[in-house]
Amino acid sequence: MRIKKAYIYFLSDRIMEMPLSEVIDRFVIVRLKMERVKTEDKKAEYEFYKNVLEDYKKDGIMIKQDWIDRLYNANSQIWDLESDIRKGKEGDLGLEEVGRRAIKIREINKIRISIKNEVVEFTGSGFKDIKINHASE
């Protein structure tokens, strides 16, 4: 079985295969966009990542539903916290609330990174994301 692979591009040149943890993360982010923005323009991208994941499974690589669910949950929480800021409503929120949300986003991102690192560790696909002297470590 031939696996459909996702690649990272720079200036239209394919430079490296996208790690499985990144494929799962992008899959759930596109799913969130489809659910929350109610747009059909992400359908092809969603199907692409879904097919890549299915091909990994067909090739005997275990993809735990738990990883997908936990990444979906983490990205969903980040989306909720960023929503008003993305819409330009930070003035309505006040600096204290924006700061509180930024700290919470950083905390959730730590969880998100640890889930992606768990995928790397379990499957051997990709590299761990290690932060040094960074608030997300």
- SS3 of 44-61: the string is HHHHHHHHHHHHHHHCCC
Residue-level pLDDT at 68: 98
Confidence bin at 1 (pLDDT 50/70/90): very low
Higher pLDDT, 67 or 6: 67
Residue-level pLDDT at 7: 59
- pTM of the predicted protein model: 0.81
What is the average pLDDT value for the chain, to the nearest integer? 84
Average pLDDT over residues 26-37: 94
Confidence bin at 2 (pLDDT 50/70/90): very low
Give start and end residues of each alpha helix (H) in the chain.
Answer: 20-37, 43-58, 65-86, 90-93, 95-123
Residue 33 scores a pLDDT above 80: yes
Residue-level pLDDT at 124: 86
Q: Count other Cβ atoms within 10 Å, centred on residue 29.
A: 20
Q: What percent of the chain shows pLDDT beyond 90? A: 45
Residue 112 scores a pLDDT above 70: yes
Q: Which two three-digit tokens encode residue 100? A: 């509180």
